[in-house]
Structure 1
Amino acid sequence: MDALGRRIIVAAFDGWNDAGEAASAAASMLRADVEYDVVHSVDPELYFDYQYTRPQIGLDAEGRRTLTWPEAKLLRPTQRSDDAEIWLLVGVEPARAWQAFAAEFIDVALREDVTGFVALGSMMSDVPHTRPISVFAGSDNEGVRQSLGLERSLYEGPVGILSAIGHASEQVGIPTASLWASVPHYVAGHTPSPKATLALLERLESITGITVPRGDLEAESRQWEASIDAAAADDDEMSDYIRQLEQTRDTWDSPEASGDAIAQEFERYLRRGGGSDGPTKPGRDDPPRR
């Protein structure tokens, strides 16, 4: 568990990297039982497009109108520990100047002797809600892959801010890993997705060795799945589609799955028109980003 060291930044951003709000909810769970101080926050004027990510107006405790601006900040535990620490990098994905944005946080990470970086993300995928949520666990760092049994991504295509920060981290010698949960794409009306959040936290715990709070996620996951079951029960087309996804997932997961089966799935994907994201083997391929 030492591949990422004892002071690990876990990053999750609202936006493109956060299907079903699974990653941002995971970060919120990490904050639930621990007090954090702000180490660094960015100037929103430099990185956010307010027409895309608008400020929010509300009332404070005394009834006065307040504006809350988009933000991104690095948090560290208030109570320092000699054991492994989880620091949090959270906020909204920036609209511009990504290299400068990443550099701000990398500079702070180096100053604070951060030893590892883990990106949490979630993506919409062709997977059934009735099966365990797949989490791709990968790293571009050979030492991390060997130590933690992670995979190397061969994905090529568009990326989000998590990849930009992760790439910058590796360039300055901070080892990285990424965890991506596959959220069923047909459950858009059932957000957030606690089952995906739970899967991310369980995988994070396995690669860091740090106990992660679960809260009510297990019960919420069962309720989430039951609500989708109920919706599918009244929709024959949806039920048929879910059964097809279940068969595909079970084929991928079976010991008998062969290269021929994978090739056939890829051919079916091409016949459907293809795209930059490619066929997704649950829990195996790097996240396709749309």
Structure 2
Amino acid sequence: MLVVAFEGWNDAGEAATGAAKLLVERLGLIEVSAVDPELYFDYQFTRPTISVGDDGVRRLEWPGAAIMGPGGEASDDDDRVTGPGAENLHVLIGAEPARSWKGFAAELIDAALAADIECIVLLGAMLADAPHTRPLAVFASSENPEVRSALGVERSSYEGPVGILSVIADQAERGGIPTVSLWASVPHYVHNAPSPKAVLALLGKVEELTGLSIPRGSLEVDAKAWEAGVDALAADDDEMAGYITQLEQARDAVDAPEASGEAIAQEFERYLRRRGEEPGGRADGRGDGPR
């Protein structure tokens, strides 16, 4: 299995790359294949960074993308990823390229085929109307009918602009590698990254669909601290606190056991009216069609 995550447009709250980096660390993965960054990146858009290593030497780090595979030293037994296929798990992590997306995706899928990858899990995260006080939802989808049947996931109905994850998924399916995409919802009103709670949500969904067991380390403590920090901000901002309450009520209505389609629609209409909008229209009441 290959787990894929990219920085940038697909990575709200650094949740996707946070989950991928944790897997790389726990599994002790090493680079087995990488793209030439000169071909795909605009350094004025995604700039190289400089950092000081443990040896005190300053080094440039260039944006890129690499497949990480087995060969390094894994974590101690208590922190090791276990479960079906854990010993052959690969991770693709990198920055979203600036150009030549077709060639970029084709090169990476060729490398995946060379590494005998049999399935791909793509991780993404998006800003959404999600209350930070509730479990963060993860939407799972696949364009592959066999994957949908086996895992009980849906086919995405989204239409519009896409990121590199969608291009990778399309190339993989064309190359005969089945894929599933996992997208975490990150509260849009929380501007500080990373979001450890969203990382936890993605890892939990990966476990659910694959049967892997992924030790969390300090993530659960970090997630509680993150949530407490947002609570503190909301306590000093009445408008933010009121908005969060609205999101909580809408979420609880959807999650309630007795929630029906009609009940959910009615709750959504009440939510819009509290914001001064008309359902299916604008705030001034002039309908402009379905959203």
User: Do these two structures clear the TM 0.5 threshold for a shared fold by scoring above it?
Assistant: yes
Q: Do residues 148 (structure 1) and 148 (structure 2) align?
A: no
Q: Do residues 129 (structure 1) and 122 (structure 2) align?
A: no
> SS in structure 2 opposite 1:183?
strand
User: How far is 1:262 from its partner?
Assistant: 5.1
Aligned counterpart for 1:55 among listed residues 48, 58, 70: 48
Structure 1 counterpart of 2:147, one-letter code: V
Aligned residue for 2:252? Answer: 250
Aligned residue for 1:33? Answer: 26
Aligned residue for 1:87? Answer: 90
Aligned counterpart for 1:175 among listed residues 174, 178, 181: 178
Moved more, 159-168 or 255-264: 255-264
Aligned residue for 1:192? Answer: 194
Structure 2 counterpart of 1:161, one-letter code: I
Aligned residue for 2:225? Answer: 223
Post-superposition Cα deviations, 1:163-185, rounded to whole Å, max 9, x if no partner, equal: 10011111111010011100000
Distance 1:77 1:269, change over 3 A: farther
Paired with 2:178 and 2:129, the residues of 1 have a C-alpha distance of 31
Aligned residue for 2:61? Answer: 68
Aligned counterpart for 1:112 among listed residues 91, 110, 115: 115
Paired with 2:170 and 2:282, the residues of 1 have a C-alpha distance of 34
Question: Does structure 1 retain, via aligned residues, the 8 Å contact 2:141–2:182?
Answer: yes
Paired with 1:216 and 1:65, the residues of 2 have a C-alpha distance of 29
Q: Do residues 101 (structure 1) and 104 (structure 2) align?
A: yes
Distance 1:270 1:22, change over 3 A: farther
Aligned counterpart for 2:237 among listed residues 235, 238, 249: 235
Between the aligned residues of both structures, percent identity stands at: 56
Post-superposition Cα deviations, 1:158-213, rounded to whole Å, max 9, x if no partner, equal: 11101100111111110100111000000113x21111100100110111111112
Post-superposition Cα deviations, 1:124-149, rounded to whole Å, max 9, x if no partner, equal: 00110000010001111111111111
Structure 1 counterpart of 2:49, one-letter code: Q
User: How far is 1:258 from its partner?
Assistant: 3.3
* Ranges in structure 2 where 5+ consecutive residues have no aligned partner: 75-81, 270-277, 285-289
User: How far is 1:254 from its partner?
Assistant: 2.2
Question: Does structure 1 retain, via aligned residues, the 8 Å contact 2:83–2:211?
Answer: no
> SS in structure 1 opposite 2:20?
helix
> SS in structure 2 opposite 1:10?
strand
Distance 1:103 1:238, change over 3 A: same
Paired with 2:162 and 2:143, the residues of 1 have a C-alpha distance of 15
Paired with 1:19 and 1:136, the residues of 2 have a C-alpha distance of 14
Paired with 1:200 and 1:146, the residues of 2 have a C-alpha distance of 21
Post-superposition Cα deviations, 1:24-73, rounded to whole Å, max 9, x if no partner, equal: 11011112222212121111111111111101123445544432111100
User: How far is 1:121 from its partner?
Assistant: 0.6
Paired with 1:44 and 1:22, the residues of 2 have a C-alpha distance of 23
Q: Do residues 14 (structure 1) and 7 (structure 2) align?
A: yes
Aligned residue for 2:212? Answer: 210
Aligned residue for 2:274? Answer: none
Paired with 1:33 and 1:95, the residues of 2 have a C-alpha distance of 30
Post-superposition Cα deviations, 1:73-122, rounded to whole Å, max 9, x if no partner, equal: 00111179995132100010111111100000111111221100000011
Q: TM-score with structure 2 length normalisation?
A: 0.85
Q: TM-score with structure 1 length normalisation?
A: 0.86
User: How far is 1:270 from its partner?
Assistant: 4.5
Highest CA radius of gyration, 1 or 2?
Answer: 2
Distance 1:14 1:245, change over 3 A: same
> SS in structure 2 opposite 1:182?
strand
> SS in structure 1 opposite 2:63?
coil
Paired with 1:238 and 1:49, the residues of 2 have a C-alpha distance of 38
Distance 1:270 1:159, change over 3 A: farther
